[in-house]
Amino acid sequence: MAAGLSQGYDQFDCYLLLSCPYQIERQGDKFLIPEYPVFEVSFGWARQRMKELWDNGKHYLAIVEKDYRAGVVIDAYCGYVEHDLNPDELAYKVALWE
């Protein structure tokens, strides 16, 4: 996956999330709240450490350049079909953009 990301953004800062944020609604406004802090790191640092970051996250990894020009989001969850969840099956969703 890291090979699919250009090194062109390595010098820029990015947001790093290691857990999928959940949504809350208050007085009609919606907010995304992550379980772990949102980190600000170098895009290149995060890109080069994707495996270690994934291994230490909660089946979720988001590396998004601060101006949203580039990023990767990986989410994993168990089971493919809502009525037949299987904890031995993992489905992955991946978004990659530049």
Tell me what pLDDT residue 72 has.
Answer: 93
pLDDT at 76: 84
Q: What is the rounded average pLDDT of the residues 60-85?
A: 83
For residue 3, pLDDT beyond 60: no
pLDDT computed for residue 4 by the predictor: 66
Measured distance CA(25)–CA(83) in Å, rounded: 27
pLDDT at 27 > cutoff 70 = yes
The answer on pLDDT for 64 being more than 80 is: yes
Q: How far apart are CA 36 and CA 47, in angstroms?
A: 19
Provide the residue count of the chain: 98
